[in-house]
Amino acid sequence: MYKDYLDINPEVKQALDNNQAVVALESTIISHGMPYPQNVETALKVEEIVRKNGAVPATIAILNGRIKVGLTKEEIEYLGKAQNVIKTSRRDIPIIIAKKLDGATTVATTMIFAHMAGIKVFATGGIGGVHRGAQETFDISADLQELAHTSVAVVCAGAKSILDLGLTLEYLETFGVPVIGFGTDELPAFYTRKSGFKLEYRVDDVIELARIISVKWDLGLTGGVVVANPIPEAYSMDHEVINKAIERAVKEAEGLGIQGKEITPFLLAKIKDITGGKSLEANIQLVFNNAKVAAQLAKEMSLLDLGKKDKVTPQFL
Ligand code: PSU
Ligand code: MN
């Protein structure tokens, strides 16, 4: 039974039992997405922002083979420094747990564990997607299949143009995943507010967002929702600068033959070097902004749930 493997932090447990707002946070961004010490500083600040906006943060990881929903400060510090933490997507979970290893959860895995714990809203930086050249490499992030099946709303700043954004949107459409622009008509491209890809739906406030997500799950339409929340104007990067950096990083990765799960961390680190650290600053700021919106959304969702006769939200079995 999944509960045998799961440790829910007491504060998170209490909030969930009392139908209070909780926001899930991932840990691959800590161990593989940002360098130390900015990774730890950012993770702690994100938790603070979630609290300020009325929700309880639950950073998720696997530690010594236990699924942890809600990490302590010390555990976040450990994840940020340790060298042997394994980037854990859906396929990796059973091995990491059975071997009692440490695993940092990707978007896919964070969604799975959030859903197990009963958390409906998750804030991150960017989701994985269909990689450029996937027609040949088949490199499509497991995040997309998770969004297809697991009922958690993911607040992100869109996806990086290290991915093929057009194909990523097509994939999400095929699998019935709503992509909603929060205050935007376009899919944001992580470091920039615009990507050139129009979205079908735009919502400007969290109340309407909560209603839409709630309707989906009330109807038994299981699966995730992507809330695409653009980076604040003040921190968004120059299109040309960031696109050139991405092109260069992608070429280098190809030249070095980097593949599979190593690609995203490699590109993130390369882009940071090429932009002299500017991409990291943008990355940090957009995560803060997503944490704020996610907390406000989680609050609205819990208010809506209070008014419901039956809790028909799909539960993990
Ligand atoms: N995008 C980022 N930072 C990250 C990731 C994506 O800007 O740290 C991580 C997330 O955890 C995401 C994962 O789920 O990379 C996707 O990796 P892959 O493409 O190997 O599935
Ligand atoms: Mn991949």
pLDDT tens for 186-234 read 999 999 999 999 999 999 999 999 999 999 999 999 999 999 999 999 9
Q: Confirm or reject: Cβ of 31 under 6 Å from ligand 1.
A: no
Atom 1 (ligand 1) nearest CA: 126
* Letter string b/e over residues 198-213, b meaning 16 or more CB atoms within 10 A of that residue's CB: ebeeebeebeebbeeb
- Please identify, by atom number, the ligand 1 atom nearest to the C-alpha of residue 28: 11
- Please identify, by atom number, the ligand 1 atom nearest to the C-alpha of residue 89: 21
Q: What is the pLDDT of residues 243-273, one digit of tens each?
A: 999 999 999 999 999 999 999 999 999 999 9
3 is annotated as an active-site residue: no
Confidence band (pLDDT; 50, 70, 90) for 126?
Answer: very high
Which is more confident, 191 or 308?
191
Confidence band (pLDDT; 50, 70, 90) for 53?
Answer: very high
How many Å apart are CA 162 and CA 92, to the nearest integer?
A: 23
309 has pLDDT over 80: no
* Letter string b/e over residues 151-172, b meaning 16 or more CB atoms within 10 A of that residue's CB: bbbbbbbbbbbbbbbebbbebb
Contacts of 234-240 with CB under 8 Å at 24 or more apart are 234/285, 235/281, 235/282, 235/285, 235/286, 236/191, 236/192, 236/193, 236/282, 237/191, 237/192, 237/275, 237/278, 237/279, 237/282, 239/192, 239/194
State the number of CA atoms in the 13 A half-sphere of 72 facing the CB.
Answer: 6
Distance from Cα 213 to the centre of ligand 1, integer Å: 23
Q: What is the mean pLDDT of residues 149-175?
A: 96
Q: What is the pLDDT of residue 161?
A: 83
Q: What is the pLDDT of residue 308?
A: 82
- Please identify, by atom number, the ligand 1 atom nearest to the C-alpha of residue 128: 16
How many Å apart are CA 74 and CA 82, to the nearest integer?
A: 12
Q: Confirm or reject: Cβ of 279 under 6 Å from ligand 1.
A: no
Q: How many CB atoms are closer than 10 A to CB 42?
A: 24
Between the CA of residue 316 and those of 77, 111, 253, what are the distances in Å?
30, 12, 38
Confidence band (pLDDT; 50, 70, 90) for 140?
Answer: very high
Counted residue by residue, the chain has a size of: 317
The one catalytic residue among 13, 68, 120, 160: 160
Q: What percent of the chain has pLDDT over 90?
A: 95
Q: Which two tokens stand for residue 228?
A: 């695409």
Atom 10 (ligand 1) nearest CA: 106
- Given ligand 1 and candidates 59, 107, 109, 226, which is best to mutate, with the most ligand atoms within 8 Å of its CB? 107
How many Å apart are CA 186 and CA 222, to the nearest integer?
A: 25
Q: Confirm or reject: Cβ of 261 under 6 Å from ligand 1.
A: yes
Q: What is the pLDDT of residue 315?
A: 55
Confidence band (pLDDT; 50, 70, 90) for 310?
Answer: low
Give the residue among 180, 203, 91, 185 at the shortest CA–CA distance from 143. 91
170 is annotated as an active-site residue: no
313 has pLDDT over 60: no
157 has pLDDT over 90: yes
Distance from Cα 68 to the centre of ligand 2, integer Å: 24
- CATH code reported for the domain at 2-304: 3.40.1790.10
Q: What is the mean pLDDT of the chain?
A: 96
Q: What is the pLDDT of residue 307?
A: 83
Give the residue among 168, 199, 206, 212 at the shortest CA–CA distance from 290. 206
Which is more confident, 312 or 1?
1
- Given ligand 1 and candidates 28, 105, 131, which is best to mutate, with the most ligand atoms within 8 Å of its CB? 28
